[in-house]
Amino acid sequence: MEDAFGRRITYLRISVTDRCNLRCRYCMPEEGVRLKSHEDILRLEEIVRLVQAAVQVGIKKIRLTGGEPLIRKNLVSLVRQLSSLPGVEEICLTTNGQLLERLALPLKEAGLKRVNISLDTLQPDRYSFITRGGSIEAVWRGIRAALEADLVPVKLNVVVMRGFNEDEILDFASLTLREPLHVRFIELMPIGAADGADFGYISLQEVWERLASKFKLERVQDLPGNGPARSFRVAGGVGSLGFIGAISEHFCNRCNRLRLTADGKLRPCLYWQVEVDVKTPLRAGASIVELAGLFRQAIRLKPRGHRLEAGWSQERLMCQIGG
Percent of the chain with pLDDT over 70: 90
pLDDT of residue 172: 98
Size of the chain in residues:
323
Q: Residue 178 falls within a domain, yes or no?
A: yes
- State CA 162 to chain mean position distance: 22
pTM: 0.93
The pLDDT tens digits for 231-255 are 999 999 999 999 998 777 777 888 9
Q: Residue 44 falls within a domain, yes or no?
A: yes
From residue 252, alpha-carbon distances to 129, 138, 235, 306, 308 in Å are 33, 35, 30, 7, 12
Give yes or no for a cis peptide into 228 (omega within 30° of 0). no
Q: Residue 43 falls within a domain, yes or no?
A: yes
CA atoms of 92 and 51, how far apart (whole Å): 14
Number of structural domains the chain divides into: 1
* Mean pLDDT of the 261-276 span: 92
Q: Residue 5 falls within a domain, yes or no?
A: no
pLDDT of residue 35: 84
Q: Residue 200 falls within a domain, yes or no?
A: yes
Q: Residue 4 falls within a domain, yes or no?
A: no
* Mean pLDDT of the 275-294 span: 98
The sign one gets for the Cα dihedral 273, 274, 278, 284 is positive
pLDDT of residue 316: 61
Query: Are the beta carbons of 19 and 35 closer than 8 angstroms?
Result: yes
* Mean pLDDT of the 284-304 span: 97
Q: Which residues, at least 6 apart from 125, have a Cβ–Cβ distance to it below 8 Å?
A: none
For residue 254, the 8-state DSSP code is: G
Task: Please give the residue that has the higher pLDDT: either 316 or 67.
Answer: 67
Poorest-confidence range of 94-98, 136-140, 182-186, 241-245?
241-245
For residue 8, the 8-state DSSP code is: B
CA atoms of 322 and 91, how far apart (whole Å): 15
* Widest pairwise Cα distance in the chain: 59
- Single-letter residue type at 319: C
What is the span of the domain harbouring residue 286? 11-321
Please state at what angle helix 136-148 crosses helix 124-131, rounded to 10 degrees. Answer: 100
Q: Residue 80 falls within a domain, yes or no?
A: yes
Poorest-confidence range of 115-124, 288-297, 299-308?
299-308
223 burial type by CB count under 10 A (0-12 exposed, 13-18 middle, 19+ buried): middle
Mean pLDDT over each residue of the chain, to the nearest integer: 91
Alpha helices in the chain (DSSP H): 44-56, 75-83, 100-110, 124-131, 136-148, 169-178, 204-212, 279-283, 288-300, 318-321
CATH assignment of the domain containing 187: 3.20.20.70
Q: Residue 27 falls within a domain, yes or no?
A: yes
